């Protein structure tokens, strides 16, 4: 007997769903001989790559993890006392294992189908309540991308609200975190807003050109100020005031809301989320109830379901850019859900007493350190402080000596200059112990040549703050923060919430434009390694050589995939990538003296963030028509390119198109823009249909953002985190984002996020994916994605019209099923979406890009068996619709209108509906065997908007006040 030897454990076979037998069966159903034939009939020959991707050979999971352990080992874990919004912390192990490392939490999608997302929604209500309580304000959103983004969002919000028509100046305290000022400047400049940076104690607020101000609490140097008088005077002159605050400090310090602040922003990182070299972390934004109609981002609210039971859903202006498009005041269409959940669970687990104890310990140790340094003769400048000391030094030479000695001891401080004098900043944290304080004192005593004073942990310390700085109001009083303090109770609570949510652990989530694919365990494992999570983003770069290698390789690989010359990993969402890409184009035009080029051509079918991002970048949006086939109207595009030739900045285009087709005119379209002096921005939402077959550069694009949380396997995390790096051609490379604190390859152009490399700690996921797939594997993934989509199309097109196809009748990696004809029978697309829950599925994308349709994207990771199960469900629902159409089922009292069906609904004593309980909840044999039960019936969103409840406060405390609010959109998440 002869035995063949070949690799037996190939990762691509783990990633792609269909095996060879399944592929052959699917090809027969589609009516082609091979995948090659299918690809030839789908992807235009003119845009096909001429050679395969030049990427490293694929590694097995075992080989990759061994390699990555070596890379991660190049990162050096120092004790970090740098501060500036990033602090060492401790994520409780029970939360790490059961949420952060749990695919039941990290593979879920944005909770647009709220009935099967009640667990995440409750966790986000907890987070919002935590933010409201600690900041002293009335409403909070379900997180933003980071602190800098949150601060920039309030700048936009208050600029749009200002009644001072000609006010274009915004005061920024010089003690706001430097990276926040950097992001504010980036966001303000395109809108003609001038930042005025100065001293809040001496600044003249009577200037009529001012519309707002932002302060830091505690300040960047650690000083704590009472801002009550400043805020009062600002209000007297018609200014809005934002305060950027540290959540941990607010357990002891008077919250800014009680000082009169209009908004409070910040970062919830120190509530258990690892520093991760900068992210991802959940930024927060709280504001007054008066601003609830304009607060950016997602807000979770409480409503009722069809049975009158409490239920949660996204509320208010969620995803407002999809409705208002170029009139939107924000392009934010995502959140940091997984990180918000972690921070909220930290508060649930520890409760107010333990968190206050953390804060007390931090402050007590900081006082102890201050006393010891004073005994050494050092000048500590902060009269009032929480966790940060500001040491004024006599010389730069002394500062350098301290740095040298500290780093030799494995310690990082902050080194900076203020008003001409060298300083050392020291910020303590939750993990600081008395031994750490002794180590810090030892560094200074050695450099100064003095004996170290005795340092002992005091049993208690006296707080020297003035009375109006000491918090007296209660917080985290709701029972949810006072009930789960034992690990067993906490474990059960998290499991109860997890059981309410459908994720990829249950079934496929076939969301068009969202690419819900396998997030392999081997890709996820390194994320929680200390070598990845334990680095401060502003630590010396020589301590992060492992990260440097990851960044270098990943940038090179993404350049190969896109065909571009350079990549920035900084943008931490798709919408942020859009914005950064447009700024690169703007920077290019401005440098050439073409500041007048400000027109962005955008197809009518574009994702709503496109026009919103263009306006934020200071551009004028001109809409290009679509043909009846859904394609860009090339004649209209050429006419408008000619009309605006002198002002043309760019075209924003998605490819394959938003409607799931490879438009064959794309090269002509891009050339037209170039001929008129513009550049082409390609939205990378659909890169899963490009990788290895074509590329943005091949098509003629100049810049493209990549959704790493789609094409490159970073999980959606229930609605975030995301990562949206951008690739650019060579002449746009100088205009990629830089950073004020870290020299990122010589780039000085403004930052779009707080951290130099954005959400650095989850980049290893995409790094792992590319490593284990290799060039051939990535290409095969694209081919299988197209195969899976066309298989579903072939099986369903006799039941549901497929709205758009290419010239050969093929779709790309997704398709649009037209459900509008069912309206004649009273069936809405929403009814189909809700009925799919009874079959055990999350709905495809609802009513985007065309109202009344479903956009289906199966991805390459789904097996034929799973595709067939989804197809069976869709055919079953079509038969149920036919019953209504024929009059055999009542138009209002039928299974679709009452979907989803809960266990409580079918276990009722009297069943009065004209269909059986079994038909309601067991429509297939699979559902009978593996039933996923929605925990609430169909939710009444209108009721929730009339009775807005965005915290854990009991329902009876609210009156039924009518609100005219922007409706919730169900489009894809960026």
* 3-state SS string for 770-831: HHHHHHHHHHHHHHHHHHHHHHHHHHHCCCCCECCCCCCCCCCCCEEEECHHHHHHCCCHHH
Asked if residue 499 lies in contact with residue 843, where contact means CB atoms within 8 angstroms, the answer is: no
Task: Name the token pair of 966.
Answer: 């922007």
Q: What are phi and psi of 652, to 5 degrees?
A: -105, 125
pLDDT band at 265 (very low <50, low <70, confident <90, very high): very high
Of 31-40, 265-274, 320-329, 896-905, give the lowest mean pLDDT range.
Answer: 320-329
Over the stretch 687-710, which tens digit does the pLDDT of each residue have? 999 999 999 999 999 999 999 999
What span, in angstroms and rounded, lies between the C-alpha atoms of 826 and 218?
57
Asked if residue 860 lies in contact with residue 16, where contact means CB atoms within 8 angstroms, the answer is: yes
Helices (H) and strands (E) in the chain, counts: 32, 26
The pLDDT value given to residue 953: 55
Asked if residue 786 lies in contact with residue 689, where contact means CB atoms within 8 angstroms, the answer is: yes
The pLDDT value given to residue 959: 38
pLDDT at 838 over 50: yes
Stretch 504-525: mean pLDDT: 96
The pLDDT value given to residue 324: 59
The pLDDT value given to residue 327: 63
Stretch 106-118: mean pLDDT: 96
What span, in angstroms and rounded, lies between the C-alpha atoms of 124 and 306?
22
| Position with higher pLDDT, 957 vs 949 | 949
The pLDDT value given to residue 419: 86
Q: How far is CA 576 from CA 151, 153, 607, 656, 800, in A?
A: 14, 12, 14, 21, 36
Stretch 528-544: mean pLDDT: 97
Q: How crowded is residue 102: how many other Cβ atoms within 10 Å of its Cβ?
A: 17
Of 205-214, 297-306, 309-318, 349-358, give the lowest mean pLDDT range.
Answer: 309-318
Over the stretch 739-780, which tens digit does the pLDDT of each residue have? 998 875 666 668 999 999 999 999 999 999 999 999 999 999
The pLDDT value given to residue 965: 35
The pLDDT value given to residue 11: 97
Instruction: Give SS3 for 290.
Output: helix
> Closest by alpha carbon to 84, among 191, 178, 182, 197?
178
Stretch 860-870: mean pLDDT: 98
Stretch 408-429: mean pLDDT: 96
pLDDT at 220 over 70: yes
What span, in angstroms and rounded, lies between the C-alpha atoms of 607 and 689?
17
Secondary element (H or E) of residue 593: none
The pLDDT value given to residue 956: 46
Give the distance, in angstroms, between the CA of residue 128 and the centroid of all CA atoms in the same chain: 16
> Closest by alpha carbon to 543, among 409, 410, 402?
410
Place of tokens 């922007």: 966
What span, in angstroms and rounded, lies between the C-alpha atoms of 533 and 435?
23
Task: Name the token pair of 522.
Answer: 């081997």
Over the stretch 813-823, which tens digit does the pLDDT of each residue have? 999 999 999 99
pLDDT at 73 over 50: yes
What span, in angstroms and rounded, lies between the C-alpha atoms of 844 and 855?
6
pLDDT at 333 over 90: no
pLDDT at 356 over 50: yes
Q: What is the full DSSP assignment across 240-252?
A: EEEEEEETGGGGT
Q: Give Dmax over CA atoms of the chain in angstroms.
A: 94
The pLDDT value given to residue 946: 75
Task: Name the token pair of 558.
Answer: 């993404």
Reported in sequence order, the residue ranges of 166-274 that DSSP labels E, i.e. its strands, are 169-173, 194-198, 210-217, 240-246, 263-267
pLDDT band at 466 (very low <50, low <70, confident <90, very high): very high
The pLDDT value given to residue 334: 84
Question: How high does pLDDT run on average in the chain?
Answer: 94
Task: Name the token pair of 48.
Answer: 């096909």
pLDDT at 941 over 70: yes
Over the stretch 74-103, which tens digit does the pLDDT of each residue have? 999 999 999 999 999 999 999 999 999 999
Q: Per-residue b/e over 840-853, b at no fewer than 16 CB within 10 Å?
A: bbbbbbbbbbbebb
Q: How far is CA 607 from CA 321, 505, 743, in A?
A: 9, 28, 33
């Amino acid at each position: 007997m002869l035995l063949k030897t070949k690799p037996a454990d190939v990762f691509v076979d783990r990633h792609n769903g269909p095996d060879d037998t399944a592929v052959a069966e699917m090809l027969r159903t589609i009516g082609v001989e091979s995948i090659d034939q299918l690809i030839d009939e789908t992807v235009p020959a003119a845009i096909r790559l001429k050679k395969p991707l030049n990427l490293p050979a694929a590694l097995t999971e075992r080989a990759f993890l061994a390699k990555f352990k070596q890379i991660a080992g190049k990162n050096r874990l120092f004790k970090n006392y740098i501060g500036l919004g990033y602090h060492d912390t401790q994520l409780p192990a029970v939360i790490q294992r059961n949420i952060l490392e749990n695919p039941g939490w990290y593979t879920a999608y944005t909770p647009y189908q709220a009935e099967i997302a009640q667990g995440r929604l409750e966790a986000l209500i907890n987070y919002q309540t935590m933010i409201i309580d600690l900041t002293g304000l009335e409403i909070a959103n379900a997180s933003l991308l980071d602190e800098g983004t949150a601060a920039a969002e309030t700048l936009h919000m208050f600029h749009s609200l200002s009644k001072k028509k000609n006010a274009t100046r915004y005061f920024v305290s010089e003690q706001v975190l430097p990276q926040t000022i950097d992001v504010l400047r980036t966001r303000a400049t395109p809108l003609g807003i001038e930042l005025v940076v100065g001293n809040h104690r001496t600044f003249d607020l009577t200037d009529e050109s001012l519309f707002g101000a932002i302060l830091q609490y505690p300040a960047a140097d650690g000083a704590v100020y009472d801002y009550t008088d400043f805020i009062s005077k600002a209000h007297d002159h018609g200014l809005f005031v934002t305060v950027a605050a540290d959540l941990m400090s607010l357990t002891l310090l008077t919250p800014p809301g009680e000082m009169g602040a209009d908004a409070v922003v910040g970062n919830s990182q120190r509530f258990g989320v690892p520093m991760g070299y900068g992210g991802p972390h959940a930024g927060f934004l709280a504001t007054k109830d008066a601003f609830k109609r304009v607060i950016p981002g997602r807000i979770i609210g409480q409503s009722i379901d069809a049975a009158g039971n409490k239920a949660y859903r996204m509320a208010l202006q969620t995803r407002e850019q999809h409705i208002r498009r170029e009139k939107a005041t924000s392009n934010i269409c995502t959140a940091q859900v997984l990180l918000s959940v972690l921070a909220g669970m930290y508060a649930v687990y520890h409760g107010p007493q333990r968190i206050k104890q953390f804060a007390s310990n931090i402050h007590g140790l900081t006082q102890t350190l201050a006393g010891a340094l004073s005994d050494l003769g050092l000048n500590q400048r902060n009269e009032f402080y929480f966790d940060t000391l500001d040491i004024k030094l006599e010389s730069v030479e002394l500062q350098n000596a301290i740095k040298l000695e500290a780093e030799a001891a494995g310690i990082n401080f902050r080194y900076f200059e203020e008003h001409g004098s060298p300083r050392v900043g020291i910020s303590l944290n939750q993990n600081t112990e008395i031994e750490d304080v002794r180590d810090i004192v030892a560094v200074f005593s050695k450099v100064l040549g003095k004996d170290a004073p005795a340092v002992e942990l005091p049993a208690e310390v006296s707080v020297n703050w003035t009375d109006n700085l000491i918090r007296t109001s209660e917080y985290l009083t709701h029972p949810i923060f006072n009930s789960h303090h034992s690990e067993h109770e906490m474990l059960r609570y998290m499991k109860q919430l997890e059981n309410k949510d459908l994720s990829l652990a249950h079934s496929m989530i076939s969301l068009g434009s969202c690419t819900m694919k396998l997030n392999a365990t081997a890709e996820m494992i390194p994320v929680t390694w200390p070598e990845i999570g334990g680095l401060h983003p502003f630590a010396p770069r020589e301590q992060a050589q492992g990260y440097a290698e990851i960044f270098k390789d990943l940038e090179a690989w993404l350049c190969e995939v896109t065909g571009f010359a350079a990549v920035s990993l900084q943008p931490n969402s798709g919408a942020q990538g859009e914005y950064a890409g447009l700024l690169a184009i703007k920077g290019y035009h401005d440098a050439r003296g073409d500041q007048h080029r400000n027109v962005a051509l955008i197809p009518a079918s574009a994702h709503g963030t496109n026009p919103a991002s263009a306006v934020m970048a200071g551009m004028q949006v001109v809409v290009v028509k679509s043909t009846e086939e859904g394609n860009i109207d090339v004649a209209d595009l050429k006419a408008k390119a000619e009309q605006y030739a002198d002002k043309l900045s760019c075209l924003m285009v998605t490819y394959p198109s938003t409607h799931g087709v490879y438009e064959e005119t794309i090269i002509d379209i891009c050339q037209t823009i170039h001929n008129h002096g513009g550049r082409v921005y390609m939205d990378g939402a659909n890169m899963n249909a490009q990788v290895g077959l074509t590329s943005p550069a091949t098509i003629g694009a100049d810049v493209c953002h990549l959704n790493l949380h789609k094409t490159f396997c970073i999980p959606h995390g229930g609605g975030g985190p995301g990562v949206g790096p951008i690739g650019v051609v060579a002449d746009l490379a100088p205009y990629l984002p830089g950073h004020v604190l870290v020299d990122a390859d010589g780039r000085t152009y403004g930052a779009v996020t707080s951290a130099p490399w954005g959400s650095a700690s989850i980049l290893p996921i995409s790094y792992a994916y590319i490593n284990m797939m290799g060039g051939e594997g990535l290409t095969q993934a694209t081919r299988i994605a197209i195969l899976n989509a066309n298989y579903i199309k072939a099986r369903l097109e006799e039941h549901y019209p497929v709205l758009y196809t290419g010239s050969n009748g093929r779709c790309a990696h997704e398709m649009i099923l037209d459900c509008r004809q069912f309206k004649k029978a009273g069936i809405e697309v929403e009814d189909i979406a809700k009925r799919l829950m009874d079959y055990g599925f999350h709905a495809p994308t609802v009513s985007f890009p065309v109202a009344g349709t479903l956009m289906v994207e199966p991805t390459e990771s789904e097996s034929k068996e799973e595709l067939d199960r989804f197809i069976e469900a869709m055919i079953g629902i079509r038969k149920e619709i036919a019953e209504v159409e024929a009059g055999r089922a009542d138009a209002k009292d039928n299974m679709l209108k009452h979907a989803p069906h809960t266990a409580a609904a079918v276990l009722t004593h009297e069943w009065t509906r004209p269909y059986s309980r079994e038909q309601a909840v067991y429509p297939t044999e699979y559902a009978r065997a593996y039933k996923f039960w929605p925990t609430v019936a169909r939710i009444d969103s209108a009721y929730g908007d009339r009775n807005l409840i965005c915290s854990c406060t009991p329902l009876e405390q609210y009156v039924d006040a009518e609100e005219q609010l922007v409706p919730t959109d169900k489009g894809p998440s960026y």
